[in-house]
Amino acid sequence: MKYQIDVLNQMSQRDFVEALGAIFEDSPWVAEKAYNKRPFADLGSLHQTMVGVVRDASLDEQLVLIRSHPDLGSKLKMSESSVQEQAGAGLDRLSSEEYERFQSLNQAYQEKFAFPFIIAVKNHTKESILDAFSMRLQNSREAEIESALQEIYQIAWFRYFN
- The C-alpha angle with vertex 155 and arms to 5 and 43, in degrees rounded to 5, equals 15
Dihedral of the alpha carbons of 146, 159, 53, 120, in degrees to the nearest 10 = 0
Phi-psi category of 12—alpha, beta or left, where left has phi over 0 and alpha has psi -120 to 50? beta
Query: Which residues are CB-contacts of 98 (< 8 A; sequence separation ≥ 6)?
Result: 73, 126
Q: Where are the beta strands (DSSP E) in 9-158?
A: none
- Is 69 among the residues known to form the active site? yes
Helix axes 96-113, 141-156, angle to 10 degrees: 120
Q: From the candidates 47, 69, 124, 126, give the one annotated as an active-site residue.
A: 69
Active site residue ranges: 69
